[in-house]
Amino acid sequence: MALVRTELDSRGVFTVTLADPDNKNALGRQLTSELIAAVGRVAEDPSIRLAVLTNEGSTFCAGADLRERSRRSEVDDSSDPDPLALFRGILDSPKPWVGAIAGHAVAGGLGLAAAVDISIMDEAAKSGFTEVRVGVAPAMISVICLPKMTAGRAADAMLRGYRFSGADAATMGLITTAVPRDQIDLAVDEVVTDLLLAGPEALTATKQLLRRVPNLEREEAFGWTSDLSAERFESAEAAEGMAAFRERRAPSWTPSTD
């Protein structure tokens, strides 16, 4: 039985649902493998314009499957899926990822919620860097989470390992915003609607600059973004977008309302 369910609608919105609620959608071998496959499809399938990541059950993701790991402690794990492939795949995806975080997100699950481009979380759900309480560290997810947090908040949350609300996760900068659970779908729909109004190539270029510019020296950043700007203004997509603006019509990439 599949632990990750996927669905592609007529607008090009690809919904990826973590569907192992009995195991709190923990990142075990099967679920992680299926999720990596879904992330790869988003990157490669031209019919997909953006992805929405969500969950079944009251937990979005409980992080690593500790029971599975303990059972396999003496077994060769060389064939295990690489969690770095999962996080890198979302961060480096040419398509936007939106998180509909409808439940608790702790440890690696919080890293997953933080990795998507725009995340909407249940304000009452619990989050936390709970790794230290089972004798490990929030190692890989620190690469995602630390740039989003102040040093003081990061040290407090990661060293103490306590749980905090979705509303607090938003205050820390780990997610975009937190709303009551029954408003998540509406908030995500608003985000998706806005993303579908943007040129697909323009979104890819914008994702590149969001990831790259903060890591460049100022003059290098100006040089690279100048080239990127020229490339975009000379593109067929920009020509269509500006023509649509002049002619007061929707550009060709806008989904039909019929």
User: Mind spelling out the 3-state secondary structure of 69-110?
Assistant: HHHCCCCCCCCCCCHHHHHHHHHCCCCCEEEEECCEEECHHH
Residue 7 reports pLDDT greater than 70: yes
* Average pLDDT score over residue span 23-38: 96
**Quick one: pLDDT at residue 68?**
87
Average pLDDT of 119-126? 97
Does residue 50 surpass a pLDDT of 90? yes
pLDDT level of residue 74 (50, 70, 90 thresholds): low
Q: In the chain, where does DSSP find H-type helix?
A: 29-44, 66-71, 83-91, 108-115, 139-145, 151-160, 166-172, 184-196, 200-212, 218-233, 236-247
Position 73 scores a pLDDT of: 56
- Lowest mean pLDDT of 61-75, 200-214, 222-236, name the range: 61-75
Query: Quick one: angle between helices 236-247 and 218-233, nearest 10?
Result: 70
Nearest CA-CA partner of 235 in 255, 215, 251, 248: 251
At residue 31 the predicted structure's pLDDT band, cuts being 50, 70 and 90, is very high
Q: Which residues contact 220 (CB under 8 A, 6 or more apart)?
A: none
111 vs 127: CA distance, rounded Å:
10
pLDDT score of 141: 96
What is the amino acid identity at position 68? E
Residues 241-255 pLDDT 10s: 999 999 999 999 998
Let me know how long the chain is. 258
Tens of pLDDT along 166-197? 999 999 999 999 999 999 999 999 999 999 99
Question: Taking 80 as the threshold, does the pLDDT of residue 24 lie above it?
Answer: yes
Q: Would you kindly state where each structural domain of the chain is located, as residue ranges? A: 4-195, 199-247
- Tell me, what's the pLDDT at 66? 86
Q: Which fold has domain 4-195?
A: 2-enoyl-CoA Hydratase; Chain A, domain 1 (3.90.226)
pLDDT per position as a tens digit, 215-236: 999 999 999 999 999 999 999 9
CA separation for the pair 16, 53 (Å, rounded): 5
Instruction: Give residue 72's pLDDT.
Output: 65
Hey, what's the torsion of the CAs at 56, 58, 61, 63, to 10 degrees?
-140
Residue 99 near residue 109 (C-beta atoms within 8 A): no
Question: To the nearest whole number, what is the mean pLDDT of the chain?
Answer: 94
Q: What is the mean pLDDT of residues 136-146?
A: 96
Question: Of the candidates 19, 14, 11, 17, which has an alpha carbon nearest to the alpha carbon of residue 43?
Answer: 14
Q: How far is CA 128 from CA 131, 149, 229, in A?
A: 9, 13, 39
For 248, half-sphere exposure in the C-beta direction (CA atoms, 13 angstrom radius) is 0
pLDDT at 83: 87
